[in-house]
Amino acid sequence: MSEQFDLVILGGGSGGYACALRASELGMTVALVEQDKLGGTCLHRGCIPTKALLHSAEVADTAREAAEFGVHAKFKGIDVEGVDKYKNNVVARLYKGLQGLVKSRDVTYVEGHGRLTSSTTVTVGDRVLEGRSVVLATGSYARSLPGLGIEGRIITSDQALELTHVPSSVVILGGGVIGVEFASVWRSFGAEVTIIEALPRLVPSEDEASSKALARAFRRRGIKSQTGVRFAGARQDDQGVEVTLEDGTSLRADLLLVAVGRGPNTADIGYEENGVALDRGFVVTDDHLQTSVPGVYAVGDIVPGLQLAHRGFGQGIYVAEHLAGLNPAPIDEAGIPRVTYCDPEVASVGLTEAQADAEYGSDSVITYEYNLGGNGKSQILATTGFVKLVAVKDGPVVGIHMVGARMGEQIGEAQLIYNWEALPSEVAALIHAHPTQSEALGEAHLALAGKPLHAHA
């Protein structure tokens, strides 16, 4: 006999548990199924542990550079065991808190491998969970390239998080978010790093100005990169890995990190057998995140688009509210903030300049770039970078792009500017605290509104 619920959710990662918590708040009976650990990739193998490593890397750099700030300190090296203890403690505290949240909301949590067995049921072992609606939230996995096995000295981000030593040298295959974040960590820890990216620039989904700024900053840090060249093969032995490229060059390193993106976990879970349409493994949905099967929804990394935890959170909340009849506004993908937490950080929301040109016509788009050299707090932090605005002539700001230390902390205001379709003059009228990096956003809008203060129009 099946167990009856208003909502059954397959997958307990960011999108799944957010949907469960919100649905429970709205009075639904909810079953949440997870075969691994509650919190999914983000909490255990992604966002949280990698950002903990990046903070350790920042502390290492601060110790190295202490004399520049008049502080006597010495950098003696990286205690990998200590770094792991710090990282794992952060994860454990958040994991415990999340477990408590799910329990407190009366969500029925089911551990085990779940399969979609009909448009209304998920089966976990001998248990059949039946819901008026079903949400698919099975997340993603670290992809590799055809024929490139993950073993030994060839690793993905999953294995990178469990390393017990700092590699002497690393080749990173992929210059997207994962690749540049690990490049930043390992360089701060003392490794020699080379990034290989098949597309013409690092972080290719970002505005071209941001990509160029990051490449310059990485060169200053001693991080090498080769862009516009494809991977050909890799051979490993007891001493290291030899990586060959299609242009005939080869590189040798202690490790090869494969960071070519994440694939959707949708195979062999009953999706296609029960009529859920897939496109290259991703679940096809409509604007309400409903799949091709009525009553079955999908959220998170398995839905085409940005693979970000906060996108999953938003989608999970959206589906719960949609099912509750609250009629929430569909999510604007361009309005989801994006942050790459390397040093320097790259943050953005809205359209790139190229995207705005394509949508509105280049004659209707204006841009402004404010250099952080004019920002007092950025000078105190000894960071360089910029805030770039993309706007429609006589219209709203449609894109904000930032590079520099702690720019991820400025993206909150930036997303409000974009999502509320603010005019440059409206943001220019706001007073930003001094000295803060948020002033850079204000200064950029002052300039775009035709009244620059510490910058040229």
Q: How far apart are CA 210 and CA 237, in angstroms?
A: 37
Residue 357 · residue 365 · CB < 8 Å: yes
Distance from chain centroid for Cα 408: 11
Q: How far apart are CA 76 and CA 73, in angstroms?
A: 10
pLDDT computed for residue 264 by the predictor: 97
Q: Which residues are CB-contacts of 456 (< 8 A; sequence separation ≥ 6)?
A: 447
Largest Cα separation within the chain, whole Å, is: 72
Residue with tokens 């089911």: 110
Dihedral (C-alpha) 277, 281, 282, 285: value to the nearest 10 degrees?
Answer: 0
pLDDT computed for residue 133 by the predictor: 98
Q: Which residues are CB-contacts of 330 (< 8 A; sequence separation ≥ 6)?
A: 287, 288, 318
Q: How far apart are CA 212 and CA 361, in angstroms?
A: 23
In the set 44, 322, 434, 445, the catalytic residue is 434
Q: Chunked in runs of 10, what are the mean pLDDT values of the chain (457 residues)?
A: 95 98 98 96 94 97 96 95 97 97 95 97 97 98 95 97 96 98 98 98 98 98 97 95 96 98 97 97 97 98 97 98 97 97 98 98 97 96 97 98 97 97 97 97 96 81
Based on the residue annotation, tell me whether 434 is a catalytic residue of this protein: yes
The residues facing 262 across adjacent strands are 142
pLDDT computed for residue 454 by the predictor: 84
- HSE-up of 186 (CA within 13 Å, CB side)? 31
Residue 311 · residue 380 · CB < 8 Å: no
Residue 382 · residue 374 · CB < 8 Å: no
> Buried b / exposed e across 90-126, counting CB within 10 Å, b at 16+?
bbeeebeebeeebeebebbbbeeebbbbbbbbbbbee
Give the closest residue to 307 by CA, choosing from 87, 42, 114, 94: 42
Query: Please, what are the domains in the chain?
Result: 3-141+263-333 (3.50.50.60), 154-260 (3.50.50.60), 344-448 (3.30.390.30)
pLDDT computed for residue 455 by the predictor: 75
